[in-house]
Amino acid sequence: MALRTQISERQRRFGAELRRLREAAGLAVKDAGALIGMAGPQLSHIEAARTALDPERLSVLLQGYGCTDEPYMVLLRNLGASDGKGWWSNFKGQVPALALDLAESEDRAIRLDNYETLHIPGILQLPAYTEAVYADGTGKWDTARQIDFRMERQRILTDGKQRQFRFVIHEAALRMRFAGDEVMRAQLIHLMEIAELPNVDLQVMPFTAPKSAPFSASFMLCDPGCPELATVILDGPKRAEHIADQTELTAYSQMFQQLSAHALPAADLEMALRGLPNRDSWGLLHHLLYLLQS
């Protein structure tokens, strides 16, 4: 079988997990390969995501590595068996490969935690807002297709797969007016509508948050239902970094919990109508909307 010349983040993660399990079991590549009748260099190619591994051999390897976590093994088998195709496949060659990897990671997740500092989270953006984000140009990529792609990503909010979303958005992102006042008014209204979805918790980190230095880097944690196979995505203007190191995953998970704890309570229209004694995210969104309308 020919070795891959293009490797997706899903394929890379599958290989990295096999390497992590092998090293945890204390086996050399040569000895692990012998478990499945494979030479060491062949297994090295699999761990480097340059080629695939069939499900039968994967099961033997997992047994040899002493893996007994059934939910983890099921998800790992799915990770290795997936062909990587989905709605994003229609955009191949029309958007950066990192965008395709991002959409695939989001699609696998059943829980997404997203912290944003200067922009509205991508899957909450309106088309006009996204167009303003891309106003400085996207290089060789067609802006219209970039916008179409971002809008398609939003299907996971209501696709019926019982995903849970938690957003913490810094107040700075809500006060940015680069898209124009009219667009920001529509965007704030859209956020308030999204906040009413039963599977969405939307919080605002106010400038006045006490005892909390602002965390400067935006990030998203995609959890497919098993913490060991979660992924943290740092999505920058030129590249996206996917983090799978277990120590860093734990650190980012804890960081999001801290950010959520320091942010205003989640936006909730029903509670807002009851007149909460304390300031909440809904109240701040409504206040910012009022400032734009005045």
pTM to 2 decimal places: 0.91
Residues 6+ apart with CB under 8 A from 5: none
Residue type for 118, please? L
pLDDT digits (tens, 9 = 90+) for 36-62: 999 999 999 999 999 999 999 999 999
CATH architecture of 9-81: Orthogonal Bundle (1.10)
pLDDT at 273: 58
pLDDT at 244: 92
pLDDT digits (tens, 9 = 90+) for 215-266: 778 999 999 999 999 999 997 656 678 999 999 999 999 999 999 999 999 9
pLDDT at 268: 76
pLDDT digits (tens, 9 = 90+) for 150-168: 999 999 999 988 899 999 9
Mean pLDDT for the chain overall: 90
Task: Locate CATH 1.10.260.40 in the chain.
Answer: 9-81
Q: What CATH class has 87-293? A: alpha beta
The angle subtended at Cα 33 by Cα 27 and Cα 35, nearest 5°, is 85
Residues 6+ apart with CB under 8 A from 269: 192, 195, 196, 282
* pLDDT band, residue 276 (cuts 50/70/90): low
pLDDT at 170: 95
**Nearest alpha-carbon partner for 103 in 121, 83, 118, 123:** 123
